[in-house]
Amino acid sequence: MNKGRVTVVDIARAAGVSKSTVSLVLQASPLVNEATRAKVNAVIRELGYVYNRGAANLRQSASSKIIGIIVNDLTNSFFAELAVGMDMVMQSAGYVQFLSNSAESVDRQREVIASMREHGIAGLIISPARGTEAVDLKPLAASGIPVVAVVRNVVGAKVSTLFSDNYAGAKDAVRHLVSLGHSRIAFLGGIANTTVFAERVQGWRDALAEAGLAAPDTLVIGSTASRAGGVAAIERALSLQDAPTAALCFNDAAAFGVCDGLRAAGKEPGRDFGVVGFDDVIEAETAVPALTTVSVDPQGMGRRAAQLLLKQINAGRVEPEAIVGSVRLVVRQSCGAGEKTRRMSA
């Protein structure tokens, strides 16, 4: 009896109505008589019916309530939080999401996109793997599926985008370090060959220029955008003949690594060396010393991206839109300023 799943027809038979009526009940249509509705609902509960969304989506008019999310590195808590933000709004909008981790592999990403297409996603939010090309996203756009690219850019792709203002954020951070009296400020961590990296470095460079300070390439030390990368970068920075006294780090993960590296070298971050991160990951606040960082609120960004996508899905017409999320410097202790002035402002 548990063989085949329970369908509308089974319900109809058991309730003594037609499948059409059952369908109307399922859609909470006002056309159906209250008594009938009650009886049908009772039978539905009794037989343990589960709605088959796949079957419903078959009819050409219907759209699928499934959206795809692809991130390049879920183990990075920035992206994990981004995903959580999206999850929140998608869930309350009645969508489910295919979430996949491309792990920076363009091939894997391509497979995942294909698979998602076959499953009929209504839209896609993607933080593209390094090396993603416009052609990878073309077919989606061509079949009218809205795409929102977040965090990273895909040059030439006609999709909506939501980036944070990397340039302004980096500039603000460096200005702050300058105002604290630093004159040799490094840029540490991150993979050099990316747009985000370039934008942040440009902000760093321009802020230094503005202050009349030198911005030699030796002070830009790329590595990976991780804690380990931060350790490596600060080691190299400290070994320079004219070592920096502060640094803007590519992201918070790298900044934590820089703090670790400083301690390993006997220096206390915040006191002996100014450290500023980028992203404002949750741990930034509770770390010791608390990390001064450029806040981009990953969860909020995820929510906005999801809202943007939903808007496009509902609009029908796909009109690419570019949003740049504002950003603000959160001064805590690791830069050497926060702690002392924190309670003095009142």
Q: What is the contact mask toward its own copies in residues 85 to 124, using x (rule: CB under 8 A)?
A: --x---x--x-xxxxxx-x----x--xx--xxxxxx----
b/e map of 121-152 (b: 16 or more CB within 10 Å)?
A: bbbbbbbbbeebeeebbeebbeeebbbbbbbb
Asked, as a colleague might, if the bond just before 289 is cis with ω within 30 of 0, I would say yes
Residue 37 Cβ vs DNA, minimum distance, rounded to whole Å: 7
Q: Which stretch binds DNA (CB under 7 A): 20-28, 122-130, 147-155, 199-207?
A: 20-28
User: Residues 139 to 198: which contact its own copies by CB under 8 A?
Assistant: 139, 142-144
Looking at this protein, which amino acid is placed at residue 117? R
Which token pair is 10? 């089974």
Number of helical H runs and strand E runs in the chain: 14, 12
Nearer to its own copies, 52 or 218 (CB): 52
Q: Does 4 sit near DNA (CB under 7 A)?
A: yes
Report the residue from 31, 35, 45, 48 that binds its own copies according to the rule CB under 8 A: 48
Q: Does 316 sit near its own copies (CB under 8 A)?
A: no
User: From its own copies, DNA, none, which one binds at residue 193 (CB under 5 to 8 Å depending on kind)?
Assistant: none
Strand partners, 279: 295
Q: What is the contact mask toward DNA in residues 35 to 54, using x (rule: CB under 7 A)?
A: xx------------x-xx--
Question: Which DSSP state fits 77?
Answer: H
User: From DNA, its own copies, none, which one binds at residue 96 (CB under 5 to 8 Å depending on kind)?
Assistant: its own copies
Tokens 């709605």 appear where? 51
User: From its own copies, DNA, none, which one binds at residue 342 (CB under 5 to 8 Å depending on kind)?
Assistant: none
Which token pair is 51? 């709605």
Q: Does 287 sit near its own copies (CB under 8 A)?
A: yes
Q: How far apart are CA 24 and CA 296, in angstroms?
A: 46
Which token pair is 288? 């010791």
Q: Are 284 and 252 in contact (CB under 8 A)?
A: yes
Q: How far apart are CA 165 and CA 214, in angstroms?
A: 24
Q: Which stretch binds DNA (CB under 7 A): 9-17, 171-179, 221-229, 285-293?
A: 9-17
Torsion angle (degrees, nearest 10) of CA 151, 103, 156, 305:
-40
Nearer to its own copies, 163 or 256 (CB): 256
State the residues that interact with its own copies by CB under 8 A: 2, 4-5, 48, 50-55, 57-58, 60, 64, 66, 74-75, 77, 80-81, 83-84, 87, 91, 94, 96-101, 103, 108, 111-112, 115-120, 139, 142-144, 226-228, 231, 256-257, 259-261, 263-264, 282-283, 286-288
